[in-house]
Amino acid sequence: MIEKSIETLKGIGEKNLKLFQHLGISTVGDMLKFYPRFYSDRTVKPIKDLNGGQIGCIRITALAPIKTMRTRSKMTVHKLYATDGNDTITITWFNQDWLKTNFDYNCQYNVYGDVSVSLYGKEMALRVMERSDRATTTDANVPVYPLTKNLSHNMVVKTIKQCIPYVSEIPENLPSSIREKYGLCGIGYAIANIHFPKNQQSAFFARNRLAFDELFYLQLGLRLLNKTKDRLKGTVFNNSTEIATKFIQTLPYKLTNAQLNAVSDIINDTKNGKLMNRLVQGDVGCGKTVVAAIALLIAAKNNCQGAMMAPTEILAKQHYVYLKEVLAPFGVNVVLLTGSLKAKEKNEVIKSIKDGSQNIIVGTHALIQKDVDFKNLALVVTDEQHRFGVSQRSALAGKGNTPHTLVMTATPIPRTLALVIYGDLDVSVINEMPPGRKEVKTYSVDEDMRNRINNFMKKNINEGRQVYIVCPTVNENEASELKAVTKFAKTLQNTVFCDYKVDIIHGKLKATEKDEIMSRFVSGEINVLVSTTVVEVGVNVPNASVMVIENAERFGLSQLHQLRGRVGRGEWQSYCIMFCNGGEVAQNRMRVMTDTNDGFLIAEQDLKLRGPGEFFGTSQHGLPPLTVANLYEDLDLVKKAGNAVTDILNYDCYLAKPENKTIREDVLKMYRNNLTL
Ligand code: ADP
Ligand code: MG
């Protein structure tokens, strides 16, 4: 019985049960799905093959009685002189007197530990000792599990061993046609062999199958989330080309070809009743906002509402101000809805959204609150979408009668990953910068340069430019030397920049305060803005030309690139200066930044240096976690699993066929309430 509690297994008392429950394990089935992180090689080797510094396992018999000594710190040290039949070794361990008491001199033992070599010959600092005829955690490739404190590794291995006979009860989820086509072993075999692989090959097949399953469910769920949209029709937008052309004529610049292509993709998507589901991807500063503005205008001119959601209040406000300015001449109403509006104001805004008197609604997460209803929402734009989870995005889409969706991101994601995460989203890439942009010159510097950099900032301010200084924390913490916004700004105002206006902005300020400071920075009244990463995404002040980043070693590469993107947004030569106090690893990361301005390359490096987990934690997106598979290394499996999803949905799009019953149950469970079939 796979559903039975692990309490019924040998060795599980109340204490261990609690510890296992801490890991989310209560049943035999849970236990079987607790996969090892990796394997340690505890196969038995001859003594002569183990060198000093190695960890290994040998099979020994005693050559003399165990000697016991007491150390000054009241520990006992046991020494056992032993042979494997050819060579000799001294096994040493501390305390654990019972190992000596129970030692049977007529038996062979497997011992596993750290080998060293001294004048007296080979020694092993013991980790595990077992009688050879009763070995459970030696003489094999032993799985290593992610553990919690107090739960011994042996305990886990012994418990899982008892569960292995139950693998035959685990229902096979994948139809045999799929398993054959993609060369996958059975689920029971895979689970048994992920824990205790018979050999290298069975270990490979086991991992392959389980990684495939994870990637399969990940993509299946995403595909189903989007499928509801596929089946439905989107509002038809008429006269889009005329509307867009008129608008473009009012702009003070010419759109780049890449921008024009994105616009025409959007027009094509929305002209014949298909539902648009499009990602616009382009490096910071390439001009995505104006593309969104055109899409929103088209919606409004078709007597529909359009909404634009941004991850921060600063950014939402900025979009609001911009859209109002450029769209007002076309007789379009624009309104801002954020969490910081006063209750009375908010109610009025919500009312005007509901009765349709607002055409374009800009906001933060406040847009997806329960009390917000739209009259006829037909287009949803999500800016900097990587900041939102899957469910947040679909929550806004759920507000309308299946509105078109347009998501925008500056964080380039390798194509295959984009496919996994966004399913069958169409992609427009803006791979061209507006003309006349000068590359941001980037430097990594240390404290010795402090004076020169200060003078450099002054020089730029005297030429009429503005400066950002970004620090990692808000309040100085005595223990840390991190430059803290508040204190640092004060010092700067009183010393270096006493002739200029310094101000601060950070997430802990009230929204109205943030607004006020941002608008003073935009108007040029503030020369130096000391800030946390609240300015990281989207903020657009083209007159700012210097970005100084303190403790740059604290930031991820993609984050540094986003920060750098705050400058170089106008016609001026711009600079990004990173103060870095880190060692070699940090210096290498700085080098990536100074070597390239290409956000795509930087994202790839980020992925390599930090690993996919941190770069792209799936849990933050509301997706089932990957424990075996790895989005970065298993690209081939990603594709195969994606194909398998297509195979299945092509003939059974509601997962209603009996052979897909387990798949249906699994995927519903994994995505909880987000999915309906
Ligand atoms: P992002 O893609 O990072 O969101 P924005 O939309 O904020 O970039 O645009 C950055 C700046 O470039 C803005 O000041 C915008 O007005 C300007 N811009 C956008 N498109 C063009 C263009 N084709 N030519 C010149 N400037 C442009
Ligand atoms: Mg932007």
The pLDDT tens digits for 367-395 are: 888 888 999 999 999 987 666 655 565 66
- pLDDT at position 532, please? 87
Q: What is the mean pLDDT of the chain?
A: 87
- pLDDT at position 230, please? 56
- pLDDT at position 619, please? 47
pLDDT band at 251 (very low <50, low <70, confident <90, very high): very high
Q: What does the alpha-carbon distance between residue 372 and residue 370 come to, in Å, rounded to a whole number?
A: 6
Ligand 2 centre to CA of 408 (Å) is 8
Q: Which atom of ligand 1 is nearest to the CA of 540?
A: 7
DSSP 8-state class, residue 2: T
Q: Could you tell me if residue 194 is inside a domain?
A: no
In this structure, the residue with its CA closest to atom 4 of ligand 1 is 288
Q: Could you tell me if residue 117 is inside a domain?
A: yes
Q: What does the alpha-carbon distance between residue 677 and residue 674 come to, in Å, rounded to a whole number?
A: 10
Ligand 1 centre to CA of 246 (Å) is 19
In terms of domains, do 452 and 588 share one? Answer: yes
Number of domains in the chain: 3
Q: Could you report the per-residue pLDDT of 283-342, keeping only the tens digit for each? A: 888 999 999 999 999 999 999 999 999 988 888 988 999 999 999 999 999 999 988 888
Percent of the chain's residues with pLDDT above 70: 89
Percent of the chain's residues with pLDDT above 90: 55
Q: What does the alpha-carbon distance between residue 450 and residue 525 come to, in Å, rounded to a whole number?
A: 25
What CATH number has the domain bearing residue 266?
3.40.50.300
Q: Could you tell me if residue 84 is inside a domain?
A: yes
- pLDDT at position 618, please? 47
Q: Could you tell me if residue 463 is inside a domain?
A: yes
What CATH number has the domain bearing residue 85?
2.40.50.140
Binding site membership of 559 for ligand 1 (Cβ less than 6 Å):
no
pLDDT at 265 > cutoff 80: yes
pLDDT at 169 > cutoff 80: yes
Contact 531, 469 (CB under 8 A): yes
Q: Tell which of 567, 596, 625 closes a domain.
A: 596
In terms of domains, do 449 and 566 share one? Answer: yes
Ligand 2 centre to CA of 503 (Å) is 24
Binding site membership of 540 for ligand 1 (Cβ less than 6 Å):
yes
Ligand 2 centre to CA of 401 (Å) is 27
- pLDDT at position 270, please? 95
Pocket probe mutation, ligand 1, options 294, 430, 540, 561, max atoms within 8 Å of Cβ? 540
Q: Which atom of ligand 1 is nearest to the CA of 542?
A: 14
Binding site membership of 566 for ligand 1 (Cβ less than 6 Å):
no
Between helices 289-301 and 257-270, what is the axis angle to 10°? 30
In terms of domains, do 348 and 482 share one? Answer: no
- pLDDT at position 122, please? 96
Binding site membership of 542 for ligand 1 (Cβ less than 6 Å):
yes
Binding site membership of 105 for ligand 1 (Cβ less than 6 Å):
no
Q: Could you tell me if residue 420 is inside a domain?
A: no
- pLDDT at position 614, please? 46
In this structure, the residue with its CA closest to atom 18 of ligand 1 is 287
In terms of domains, do 492 and 362 share one? Answer: no
Question: Considering only 30-39, 237-246, 270-279, 627-636, which range has the smallest mean pLDDT?
Answer: 627-636
Q: Which atom of ligand 1 is nearest to the CA of 291?
A: 6
pLDDT at 620 > cutoff 50: no
Q: Could you report the per-residue pLDDT of 103-131, keeping only the tens digit for each? A: 999 999 999 999 999 888 999 999 999 99
In terms of domains, do 259 and 373 share one? Answer: yes
Binding site membership of 287 for ligand 1 (Cβ less than 6 Å):
yes
pLDDT band at 585 (very low <50, low <70, confident <90, very high): confident
Q: Could you report the per-residue pLDDT of 597-606, keeping only the tens digit for each? A: 888 788 777 7
Q: What does pTM read for this prediction? A: 0.65
In terms of domains, do 296 and 391 share one? Answer: yes
Binding site membership of 288 for ligand 1 (Cβ less than 6 Å):
yes
Average pLDDT (548-558) is: 90
- pLDDT at position 629, please? 85
In terms of domains, do 575 and 449 share one? Answer: yes
Residue-number span of the structural domain to which 79 is assigned: 43-139
Ligand 2 centre to CA of 409 (Å) is 8
Write the secondary structure of 530-583 as one string of H (helix), E (strand) and C (coil).
EECHHHCCCCCCCCEEEEEECCHHHCCHHHHHHHHCCCCCCCCCCEEEEECCCC
* Position with higher pLDDT, 92 vs 609: 92
**Torsion sign, CA atoms 112, 117, 123, 127:** negative
Q: Could you tell me if residue 135 is inside a domain?
A: yes
Pocket probe mutation, ligand 1, options 290, 409, 535, max atoms within 8 Å of Cβ? 290
- pLDDT at position 475, please? 64
- pLDDT at position 199, please? 83
Q: Which amino acid is at 622?
A: G
In terms of domains, do 567 and 450 share one? Answer: yes
Ligand 2 centre to CA of 285 (Å) is 7
Binding site membership of 569 for ligand 1 (Cβ less than 6 Å):
yes
Whole-angstrom CA distances from 368 to 310, 373, 379, 394 are: 12, 9, 14, 9
Ligand 1 centre to CA of 48 (Å) is 68
Binding site membership of 281 for ligand 1 (Cβ less than 6 Å):
no
In terms of domains, do 123 and 253 share one? Answer: no
In terms of domains, do 379 and 505 share one? Answer: no
Ligand 2 centre to CA of 542 (Å) is 13
In this structure, the residue with its CA closest to atom 19 of ligand 1 is 287
Which H helix or E strand runs over 260? helix 257-270
Strand, helix or coil for residue 329: helix
Q: What does the alpha-carbon distance between residue 354 and residue 377 come to, in Å, rounded to a whole number?
A: 10
* Position with higher pLDDT, 620 vs 585: 585
pLDDT band at 476 (very low <50, low <70, confident <90, very high): low
Which H helix or E strand runs over 502? strand 502-505
Q: Could you report the per-residue pLDDT of 83-106, keeping only the tens digit for each? A: 999 999 999 999 999 999 999 999
Q: Could you tell me if residue 91 is inside a domain?
A: yes
Q: What does the alpha-carbon distance between residue 548 and residue 563 come to, in Å, rounded to a whole number?
A: 9
Q: Tell which of 543, 563, 596 closes a domain.
A: 596
Q: Could you report the per-residue pLDDT of 340-370, keeping only the tens digit for each? A: 888 999 999 999 999 999 999 999 888 888 8
In terms of domains, do 400 and 471 share one? Answer: no
Helix H segments across 328-441?
A: 343-354, 390-397, 415-422
Strand, helix or coil for residue 114: strand
Q: Could you tell me if residue 155 is inside a domain?
A: no
- pLDDT at position 80, please? 97
- pLDDT at position 569, please? 86
Ligand 1 centre to CA of 565 (Å) is 11
Place of tokens 């808000």: 474
Binding site membership of 289 for ligand 1 (Cβ less than 6 Å):
yes
Q: Could you report the per-residue pLDDT of 12-25, keeping only the tens digit for each? A: 889 889 999 988 89
In terms of domains, do 450 and 400 share one? Answer: no
Q: Tell which of 387, 409, 431 closes a domain.
A: 409
Based on its alpha-carbon atoms, the radius of gyration of the chain, rounded to whole angstroms, reads: 31
Which ligand has the shortest distance to the CA of 284?
1
Binding site membership of 574 for ligand 1 (Cβ less than 6 Å):
no
- Token pair of 212, please? 């495939």
